[in-house]
Amino acid sequence: MKIVNAKVIVTSPDRNFVTLKIFTDEGVYGIGDATLNGRELAVAAYLQEHVIPCLTGKDPLQSEDIWQFLYRGAYWRRGPVTMSAIAAVDTALWDIKAKAAGMPLYQLLGGKSRDSVMVYGHANGRDIEETADEVAKYIELGYRAIRAQRGIPGLGSTYGVSTDKMFYEPADAELPSENSWSSERYLDHVPVLFDRLRDRFGFEPHLLHDVHHRLTPIEAARLGKSLEDYRLYWLEDAVTAENQEGFRLIRQHTVTPLAVGEVFNTIWDCKQLIEEQLIDYIRTTVAHAGGITHLRRIADLAALYHVRTGCHGATDLSPVCMGAALHFDLWVPNFGVQEYMLHSEKTEGVFPHAYSFDKGSMHPGDTPGHGVDIDEELAAKYPYQRAYLPVNRLQDGTMWNW
């Protein structure tokens, strides 16, 4: 089998997605997600200008060698743009391989380790009661794991809180909008939310929370400690993680489980965190961390240290990534949970897919490949629209982490 052509499809059915489609001489094609929120065209150009010219003529079944060629062979390694491009190629090649084998992708990874995949949804509200009512809606839908975020009194806007609820999409402006932040206010108000949620819903539902990189290690330690009685499933991205040893301090102070890694793109970004057992869940996913080939390597390292997977699954990852991630989740022995946010109806139309949701769990489906396709005619109706994630400032104007 030979790769004869590849193309990059940029479409914006309510938000931007970048999709790579690889064609073979045997008529089988594969697709991969190359979306990097707010930086879409950088990945599209990397693919178009620097990757696609090298693919033509290669055997698509040699996906390991192609991965090594694009990573090891590139000299300039790592980084979100490069790794998203490699991920898209890798996902498309696994799609081709599984289609050629006539099997769903998870079979090629080693078959299923579970019947279905537990997913968590996003409950958010301006205040405690609104958030609690949203949690109730997810429980009603059968979710066993729910992430809860609340507005912080005194702050005009807060990460994770939106008016469009289930379809939350933060990349909403032609130029970056500005949020304001106070760690002091936040630290005072978050524990009260979880006190109320446990009071109302008991300890059965798994509750999760995302700090979105905003605290320092000592603040994160305090938050983790103050949440211990509410037994969170995880506390996510408590601090920015460039400084991996910073997690030692958090770990020394709290038994609240820690999750990190949605912005990581290689195994090197999480090596120390995993080896020193400083985290409990690794959040890297297919589209941003080098595809199935590399994600599997991260998961295998994690398994040695009791770290489980919790793949990123926000709406800025396309249904193609979601489908591929669900195959990975169904197989991976050290699975924890999968994030799941609903894509808009327009997005669902552009990406017909075999995966399905039922009572808080998902299944990738059993069609050959990863089971997600792109309707190119429909995609062409939604041209790219520049959109940025917000930036974040402290109340005195200092730039902070968003």
Rule CB under 6 A: which residues touch ligand EZ4? 37, 170, 210, 212, 262, 314, 316, 339, 389
From the candidates 189, 206, 209, 212, give the one annotated as an active-site residue.
212
Structure tokens that stand for 111 in this block: 């078959």
Binding mask 214-253 for Co ion (x = CB under 5 A): ----------------------------------------
Q: Which one, 169 or 262, has the nearer CB to Co ion?
A: 262
Closest distance of CB 167 from ligand EZ4, Å: 12
Distances (CA, A) of 383 to 13, 19, 44, 317, 380: 8, 13, 14, 18, 6
Q: Which does 269 bind (CB under 5 to 8 A by kind): Co ion, ligand EZ4, none?
A: none
- Which SS3 state, helix, strand or coil, does residue 192 take? helix
3-state helix, strand, coil in the chain (%, to 5): 40, 20, 40
Q: Which one, 40 or 339, has the nearer CB to ligand EZ4?
A: 339
90 near Co ion (CB under 5 A): no
Q: Which one, 103 or 173, has the nearer CB to ligand EZ4?
A: 173
Closest distance of CB 366 from ligand EZ4, Å: 28
**Sole residue written with tokens 């999709």:** 19
Q: Which one, 210 or 373, has the nearer CB to Co ion?
A: 210
Closest distance of CB 180 from Co ion, Å: 19
| Segment interacting with Co ion (CB under 5 A) among 15-23, 254-262, 293-301, 369-377 | 254-262
| DSSP code of residue 38 | T
- What does the chain come to in residues? 402
- Which SS3 state, helix, strand or coil, does residue 402 take? coil
Q: CA-based angle 246:252:256, to the nearest 5? A: 95
For the chain, the straight-line distance linking the first and the last C-alpha, in angstroms and rounded, comes to: 45
Q: CA-based angle 122:126:129, to the nearest 5? A: 85
Closest distance of CB 146 from Co ion, Å: 14
Rg (CA), the chain: 20
Closest distance of CB 210 from Co ion, Å: 4
From the candidates 159, 230, 340, 382, give the one annotated as an active-site residue.
159
Q: Which does 170 bind (CB under 5 to 8 A by kind): Co ion, ligand EZ4, none?
A: ligand EZ4
Closest distance of CB 236 from Co ion, Å: 5
**Sole residue written with tokens 């995302």:** 210
- Which SS3 state, helix, strand or coil, does residue 24 take? strand
Query: How many other C-beta atoms can be found within 10 angstroms of the C-beta atom of residue 43?
Result: 27
Rounded Cα distance, 107 and 2, in Å? 23
Q: Which one, 31 or 235, has the nearer CB to ligand EZ4?
A: 235
State yes or no: is 120 an active-site residue: no
Q: Which one, 90 or 210, has the nearer CB to ligand EZ4?
A: 210
Rounded Cα distance, 373 and 369, in Å? 10
Which residues ranging from 325 to 344 are in contact with Co ion (CB under 5 A)?
A: none
| DSSP code of residue 228 | G
State yes or no: is 159 an active-site residue: yes
Binding mask 202-221 for Co ion (x = CB under 5 A): --------x-----------
401 contacts 391 by C-beta, under 8 angstroms: no
Question: How are beta strands 258-260 and 178-181 bridged, if at all?
Answer: unpaired
Q: Which does 316 bind (CB under 5 to 8 A by kind): ligand EZ4, Co ion, none?
A: ligand EZ4
Interface ranges with Co ion (CB under 5 A): 210, 262
Residues annotated catalytic, as ranges: 159, 212
